[in-house]
């Protein structure tokens, strides 16, 4: 091997190295996309049709305010895609019922496309209310979430007359009740209590069927215990039992019946805790009939006999909730480390 040949090979190697470096310098850098930093996550349970342009369910007004231009992010294991905007407000339809909604929430929380480490949550939807506590069109922030189903039940005829037919199952205390952050609830009320709420002539007329002063009220923003149950319970007896369970667990008055919030909150608790969880519900029905109708008549009303105000209530929910969402994102420097002092 001659010195000239060695020099030639060294020159070729140097040239090849220079070309490689030049190619690397000019190639576009590839990097893994950063997860979306979620500031507020809005969880709805159902949408009636499309996300916009038709009859609104629980998600449409949120979607039209925050995500009309957002690209849907598909999440394996979740019922629907997640939408996010540039301000870190994300949302999704999780599905109705405890299993449906909580499994969707779990899939979204553990998906690497999102960073929930500092997120706040608004569990948003419709529900029912006892006529002694609320009215059609009202919007309620939960102070407590209580599971209606987790316990023992038996038929009333197998019990002593007038006594409750429910007994909590021991050992499930941390699964069946959640006291939501009082400071966060206070903030929510401070920001939204004076929100102008819509009402409907049909709802006004329907309220007059009930003798209760609370039932006849115009829509308002309030607080209380939200009762989560897969059972869509109706009637004064079941309503009384729900109130009994709320008091048995040391919670505030039962004011809203719904089907998801306690289960969703349990999932969030296991990953990020509950200090940043809010539950927001609007009442679209009473949990019992008026004194002149049976429970079955209330469950299966004749045409034109249903409560009005659904469209107005779902809009009220978003109007109230958006005040809190917008305040948190606009003042993120004060909120990202935790709920600030009022």
Phi and psi angles of residue 74, each rounded to the nearest 5 degrees, phi first: -75, 135
| pLDDT averaged over every residue in the chain | 91
- Which pLDDT score is estimated for 8? 39
The answer on pLDDT for 75 being more than 60 is: yes
Percentage of residues of the chain with pLDDT beyond 70 = 91
Q: How far apart are CA 187 and CA 122, in angstroms?
A: 13
Q: Which residue has the higher pLDDT, 16 or 125?
A: 125
In terms of Cβ atoms closer than 10 Å to its own Cβ (0-12, 13-18, 19+), residue 113 is middle
Condensed to tens digits (0 to 9), the pLDDT of residues 147-196 reads: 999 999 999 999 998 889 999 988 888 889 999 999 999 999 999 999 99
Could you tell me the CA-to-CA distances from 182 to 223, 268, 292 in Å, in that order? 11, 17, 39
Region 75-82: mean pLDDT is 98
What the block records as the tokens of 144 is 């407590």
Region 51-69: mean pLDDT is 97
Q: Which residue has the higher pLDDT, 72 or 161?
A: 72
Q: Which residue has the higher pLDDT, 119 or 301?
A: 119
Name which of 116-130, 272-286, 302-316, 324-338 the model is least confident about. 302-316
Phi and psi angles of residue 128, each rounded to the nearest 5 degrees, phi first: -110, 170
- Which pLDDT score is estimated for 302? 86
- Which pLDDT score is estimated for 306? 87
The answer on pLDDT for 9 being more than 80 is: no
The answer on pLDDT for 21 being more than 70 is: no
The answer on pLDDT for 265 being more than 90 is: yes
- Which pLDDT score is estimated for 32? 53
What the block records as the tokens of 321 is 């909730």
The answer on pLDDT for 18 being more than 70 is: no
- Which pLDDT score is estimated for 304? 82
Region 56-83: mean pLDDT is 98
**DSSP for residue 193:** T
DSSP string, 49-84: S-SSSSS--SSHHHHHHHTTTPPPB--TTSSS-BEE
The answer on pLDDT for 26 being more than 70 is: no
The model's confidence at residue 1, banded by pLDDT at 50, 70 and 90, is very low
Condensed to tens digits (0 to 9), the pLDDT of residues 212-264 reads: 999 999 999 999 999 999 988 999 999 999 999 999 999 999 999 999 999 99
Could you tell me the CA-to-CA distances from 255 to 138, 275, 280 in Å, in that order? 10, 21, 12
């Amino acid at each position: 091997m001659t010195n000239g040949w060695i020099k030639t090979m060294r020159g070729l190697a140097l040239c090849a190295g220079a070309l490689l470096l030049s190619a690397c310098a000019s190639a576009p850098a590839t990097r893994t996309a950063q997860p979306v930093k979620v500031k507020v996550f809005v969880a709805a349970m159902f949408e009636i049709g499309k996300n916009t342009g038709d009859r609104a369910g629980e998600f449409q007004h949120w979607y039209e305010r925050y995500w009309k231009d957002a690209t849907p992010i598909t999440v394996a294991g979740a019922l629907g895609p997640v939408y996010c905007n540039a301000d870190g407000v994300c949302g999704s339809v999780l599905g109705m019922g405890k299993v449906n909604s909580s499994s969707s929430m779990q899939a979204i929380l553990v998906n690497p496309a999102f960073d929930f480490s500092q997120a706040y949550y608004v569990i948003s939807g419709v529900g029912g209310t006892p006529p002694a506590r609320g009215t059609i069109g009202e919007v309620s922030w939960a102070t407590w979430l209580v599971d209606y189903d987790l316990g023992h039940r038996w038929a009333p005829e197998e019990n002593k007359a007038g006594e409750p037919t429910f007994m909590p199952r021991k050992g499930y205390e941390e699964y069946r009740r959640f006291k939501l952050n009082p400071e966060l609830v206070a903030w929510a009320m401070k920001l939204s209590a004076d929100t102008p709420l819509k009402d409907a002539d049909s709802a006004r007329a329907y309220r007059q069927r009930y003798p209760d002063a609370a039932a006849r009220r115009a829509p308002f923003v309030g607080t209380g215990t939200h009762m989560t149950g897969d059972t869509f319970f109706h009637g004064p007896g079941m309503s009384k039992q729900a109130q009994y369970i709320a008091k048995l667990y040391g919670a505030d008055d039962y004011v809203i019946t719904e089907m998801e919030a306690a289960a969703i909150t349990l999932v969030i608790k296991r990953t990020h805790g509950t200090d940043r969880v809010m539950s927001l519900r609007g009442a679209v029905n009473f949990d019992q009939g008026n004194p002149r109708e049976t429970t079955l008549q209330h469950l299966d009303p004749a045409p034109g006999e249903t409560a009005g105000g659904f469209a107005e209530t779902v809009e009220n929910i978003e109007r109230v909730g958006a005040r809190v969402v917008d305040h948190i994102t606009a003042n993120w420097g004060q909120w990202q480390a935790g709920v600030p002092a009022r």
